[in-house]
């Protein structure tokens, strides 16, 4: 039997749990918007056409921010197409996903949806085919109360109050040759700096995200960050990071250890940002918005894209998430929490239907994918301060990352002394006994312990079987004298919640 160990020490604090770590992403891609969040005529649709069954699941998922409208889509998007009377809105070719965009949903509809969902909007501007003026125009439309042409136009369209968007992305993945308007780091950095300065003339309190690398495997990774931040450091608050993972050739061990690569990615971006800071003798620190991350089987993408037609909302990137995928996603959340001193925001890409925790059928049901559960529980119970727990366990060899620890874990503790431990057993085949030293919490008691695992690591949820994969009570968990012990099955994600004894 494998053995793992962690210690909970409330003094070993990393940073506060940042609610923006639990963001997500809605792009005009496939069925994310149309028959995803929006479907007039659906039995649960409200007066605006939003699916109430999806809204209920979004609230349960616990997302805090939503990045919109892309993604690759934004780099050829004309935001003006999506405002005003719907009947007058033009349909456009979407070059990113070889689809037709009807523009039925635009910025005002999205903002109404955000209010219903209780989430903070995070907008991306088009720096692919457009630039400074269009970004400033969108900002004026969204955030100025009244008295200008665009703010008054918003009011005419029914949005009397400003949308008050605080966080803005300066383009998307501009390092990628696939991106419409792809630029070199120097070209993009200059445009992003100019755009940021103009936007801050409208509102100096905006939070701005400059494009970092779209993958740590990009040939420009590292150099891109240094060049872009060399141009933009004084103008922005965050640099983005994007990463997607998939199982390759049945290599479960490497896949379960995907957080090793995320840790490396974050550490490298921090090092690049801090190098620019030191060279320029800057006071502020640039932090990370990890605004695209997930499990995504990109190896299947080429076969999915339309080539001889331009359909509206085709079925694209509708990956079914298995137990193995969900456990890996739980591990990636551990990495994000572990780095919450420098990762201040993150967006699970995406929210509905497209590589998503929530699935729908047109006119029919909505259900939770296996990946829904680690995200929802981590969002709900990670609170207070992130603790550095330094998990100890044996290692295993992996093809992609060499020797990696089999146990990965992080913990949080709130002001009431309640602690949550999130742990992954990365071994595909062996169970592990986890010991948790929680004596610093006093005479701790177990509030809850649940585990997501299955003898069939590829089991998935479907519309007909929506609860085939759910976290189940882990009845092996015990605690005595401030020490908890529990069994972690192979390829599993577990949440253990501990609390001090109730006060009399």
Query: Distance (Å, rounded) from C-alpha 120 to C-alpha 123?
Result: 10
Q: Taking the chain, what is the end-to-end CA distance rounded to the nearest angstrom?
A: 40
Strand partners, 125: 170
Query: Distance (Å, rounded) from C-alpha 317 to C-alpha 300?
Result: 8
- Which of the 8 DSSP states describes residue 463? S
**Peptide bond preceding 71 in cis form (omega within 30 of 0):** yes
CA angle at 199 for the pair 227 and 24, rounded to the nearest 5°: 75
| Phi, psi angles (nearest 5°) of residue 227 | -65, -45
Q: Is 39 a catalytic residue?
A: no
- Which of the 8 DSSP states describes residue 71? S
Query: Distance (Å, rounded) from C-alpha 375 to C-alpha 329?
Result: 8
Contacts of 503 (CB under 8 A, 6+ apart): none
Active-site choice (39, 235, 292, 385)? 292
Dihedral, CA atoms, 35, 40, 43, 47, nearest 10 degrees?
130
Question: By C-alpha distance, which of 65, 44, 193 is closest to 117?
Answer: 65
Residues in the chain: 504
Q: Is 292 a catalytic residue?
A: yes
| β-pairing verdict for 65-68 and 478-480 | unpaired
**Peptide bond preceding 350 in cis form (omega within 30 of 0):** yes
Query: Distance (Å, rounded) from C-alpha 54 to C-alpha 40?
Result: 13
Question: By C-alpha distance, which of 332, 270, 339, 340 is closest to 296?
Answer: 332
Active-site choice (173, 225, 235, 247)? 173
**Residues acting as catalytic residues:** 173, 292
């Amino acid at each position: 039997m494998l053995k793992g160990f962690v210690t909970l020490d409330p003094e070993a604090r990393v940073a506060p749990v940042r609610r923006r770590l639990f963001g997500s992403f809605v792009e005009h891609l496939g069925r994310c918007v149309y028959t995803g969040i929006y479907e007039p005529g659906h039995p649960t649709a409200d007066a605006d056409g939003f699916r109430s069954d999806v809204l209920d699941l979004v609230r349960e998922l616990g997302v805090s921010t939503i990045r919109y409208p892309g993604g690759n889509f934004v780099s050829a998007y004309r935001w003006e197409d999506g405002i005003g009377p719907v009947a007058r809105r033009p349909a456009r070719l979407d070059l990113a996903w070889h689809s037709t965009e009807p523009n039925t949903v635009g910025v005002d509809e999205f903002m109404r949806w955000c209010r219903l969902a209780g989430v903070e909007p995070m907008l991306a501007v088009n720096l692919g085919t457009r630039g400074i003026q269009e970004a400033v125009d969108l900002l004026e439309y969204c955030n100025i109360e009244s008295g200008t042409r665009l703010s008054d136009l918003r009011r005419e369209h029914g949005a009397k109050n400003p949308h008050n968007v605080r966080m803005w992305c300066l383009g998307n993945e501009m390092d990628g040759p696939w991106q419409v308007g792809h630029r070199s780091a120097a070209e993009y950095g200059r445009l992003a700096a100019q755009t940021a300065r103009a936007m801050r003339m409208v509102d100096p309190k905006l939070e701005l995200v400059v494009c970092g690398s779209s993958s740590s495997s990009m040939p420009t990774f590292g150099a891109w960050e240094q060049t872009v931040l060399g141009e933009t450091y004084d103008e922005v608050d965050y640099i983005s990071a994007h990463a997607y993972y998939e199982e390759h050739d049945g290599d479960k061990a490497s896949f379960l250890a995907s957080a090793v690569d995320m840790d490396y990615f974050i550490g490298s971006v921090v090092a690049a940002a801090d190098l620019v800071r030191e060279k320029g003798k800057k006071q502020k620190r640039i932090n990370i918005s990890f605004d695209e991350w997930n499990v995504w089987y990109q190896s299947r993408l080429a076969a999915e894209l339309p080539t001889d037609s331009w359909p509206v909302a085709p079925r694209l990137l509708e990956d079914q998430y298995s137990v193995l995928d969900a456990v890996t996603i739980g591990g990636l959340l551990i990495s994000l929490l572990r780095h919450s001193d420098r990762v201040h925001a993150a967006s699970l890409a995406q929210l509905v239907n497209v590589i998503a925790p929530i699935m729908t059928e047109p006119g029919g049901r909505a259900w939770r994918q296996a990946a829904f559960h680690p995200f929802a529980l981590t969002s709900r119970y990670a609170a207070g301060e992130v603790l550095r727990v330094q998990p100890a366990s044996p290692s295993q060899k992996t093809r992609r990352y060499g020797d990696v620890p089999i146990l990965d874990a992080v913990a949080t503790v709130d002001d009431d002394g309640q602690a949550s431990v999130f742990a992954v057993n990365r071994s595909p085949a062996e169970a592990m006994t986890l010991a948790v030293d929680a004596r610093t919490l006093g005479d701790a008691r177990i509030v809850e312990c649940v585990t997501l695992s299955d003898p069939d690591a590829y089991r998935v949820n479907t519309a007909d079987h929506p609860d085939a994969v759910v976290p189940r009570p882990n009845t092996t968990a015990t605690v005595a004298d401030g020490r908890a012990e529990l069994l972690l099955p192979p390829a599993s994600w577990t949440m253990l919640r501990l609390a001090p004894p109730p006060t009399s």
